[in-house]
Amino acid sequence: MCTAITYKGKDNYFGRTLDIEYSYNETVTITPRNFSLSFRKMNSLKKHYAIIGMAAVVDNYPLYYDAANEYGLSVAGLHFPENAHYFPEKANKDNIAPFEFIPFILSSCKNLDEARKCLSKISLCRINFSDELPLTPMHWLIADHSGSITVESVMDGLKIYENPVGVLTNNPTFDYHITHLCDYINLTHTPPENRFADINLTPYSRGMGAIGLPGDLSSASRFVRAAFVKLNSVAGDDENSSISQFFHILGAVEQQRGCVKLPDGSYEITEYTSCINTDKGIYYYTTYENNCISAVNMHNANLDSTNLYSYPLVKKQIINRQN
């Protein structure tokens, strides 16, 4: 399972945790403007906007988990089991396979308004990448500097929700998550007021305004906790402070090995955490094994190239030994 957020600090930021029990040897991947992007039911794009993000590159195709383009539009795909529904090919629609969704949107849309227009013509069709890589049930968070939306392909069609909190996790559907926030409407980052009775009750600890904030690792609880932490978060006005704060926000929902055991005996962990400065095209990340922040700047690559750039993740722990 996963959590994705948007954040405004010094610049605009977008990122996610990938919570999973295995790795596809994903890399930070740059798709330059002249890399030929092919689509199963649409014409290939020989020229398009440059993209940076985390991807598993299979047969020279970038299967992006999360990414941003050179204009700051960002997309993350999150697991959406039982709810996601993909359709047979439809006439008079742009038929896009779900694994093509992120590159399709980011290669051709500069901003959220253009993405909304593009979405009005899309149908997510039932096409596997290969026999070895069948479709994954997904929904998506799309954002730019102006806001964010959630996109869900379900039985009764493609749903597009305005996302006022800039947070997405997994099941249930997004409308439930927003309604669920009402259960925590009294939480506050300030000391609580006594509404219990007309007697002298004084808080005995700092932070008691947030008593009741869920601490488990379910997707519904992670949505509430990420929203509370993000919406109350205060960052400094420089880049280092902003990215540090972003990783602290997602640290509130990270998964430690051993806390989520799966039926096969494996454990779900936060394989990586990402933070994209969408204004500058810099992809920051940490991994489960290495909490030192690494960075890849898309503008340090040749964005007019015809070849993908892939940067393997730095997974070995880096420790600054001071004596």
Residues forming a β-bridge with 67: 53, 75
| Radius of gyration of the CA atoms of the chain, in A | 20
For residue 82, how many C-alpha atoms fall within 13 Å in the half-sphere facing its CB?
Answer: 4
2 is catalytic: yes
Residues 6 or more apart whose CB falls under 8 angstroms from that of 241 comprise: 9, 10, 235
For residue 219, how many C-alpha atoms fall within 13 Å in the half-sphere facing its CB?
Answer: 21
Contact assessment for residue 63 and residue 132, using Cβ atoms and an 8 Å cutoff: no
Q: Three-class SS of residue 228? A: helix
Residues 6 or more apart whose CB falls under 8 angstroms from that of 42 comprise: 94, 95, 96, 104
**Ramachandran angles phi, psi of 17, nearest 5°:** -100, 145
**Candidates 2, 109, 125, 275; catalytic one:** 2
What does the block give as tokens for 48?
């398009």
DSSP state of 261: B
- Nearest of 218, 214, 318, 314 to residue 268 by alpha carbon: 218
Tokens 């598993």 sit on residue: 56
Residues labelled as active-site residues: 2
